[in-house]
Amino acid sequence: MKVRPLNDRILVKRVAEEEKTSGGLYIPDSAKEKPARGIVIAVGNGKLDEHGKRNAPEVKVGETVLFGKYGGTEIKLDGVEHIILREDDVLAIVDSNASAA
């Protein structure tokens, strides 16, 4: 199924969180929280400003993003959980190529 978000909305597929802690302990399903990280699947055309000009979104398809736990609307597409967010709900874009300082 194809979904095209409108305006400044983006479609994100959640990324599964680690099932094991850094100390080697496994986290039971009952203790897991929904991940607040995902991969951008589709992006809208951008938000209209007060002059009617469309501002291009900063987020691009394929990028990994961080978002708030309670933001957006959850939907299922072809049996897979996705979330539709406003671009303002995105907290950060994860740059996997950057080296840690």
Name which of 93, 99, 77 is nearest 11 in CA terms: 77
pLDDT of residue 28: 62
62-91 pLDDT, tens digit each = 999 999 888 889 998 888 889 999 998 999
Distance CA 67, CA 94 (A): 11
pLDDT of residue 44: 92
25-61 pLDDT, tens digit each = 666 655 555 668 899 999 999 888 889 899 888 999 9
Question: 79 CB contacts (<8 Å, ≥6 apart)?
Answer: none
CB 32 within 8 A of CB 26: no
Mean pLDDT of the chain: 82
φ, ψ (nearest 5 deg) of residue 46: 115, 165
Residue with tokens 């990324």: 15
Name which of 55, 71, 57 is nearest 14 in CA terms: 71
Name which of 3, 12, 1, 2 is nearest 86 in CA terms: 12
The topology (CATH level 3) of 9-16+30-94 is 10 Kd Chaperonin, Protein Cpn10; Chain O (2.30.33)
Q: Which residue has the higher pLDDT, 69 or 20?
A: 69
Domain ranges of the chain: 9-16+30-94
Q: Is the pLDDT of residue 21 over 60?
A: no
Q: Read off the pTM.
A: 0.75
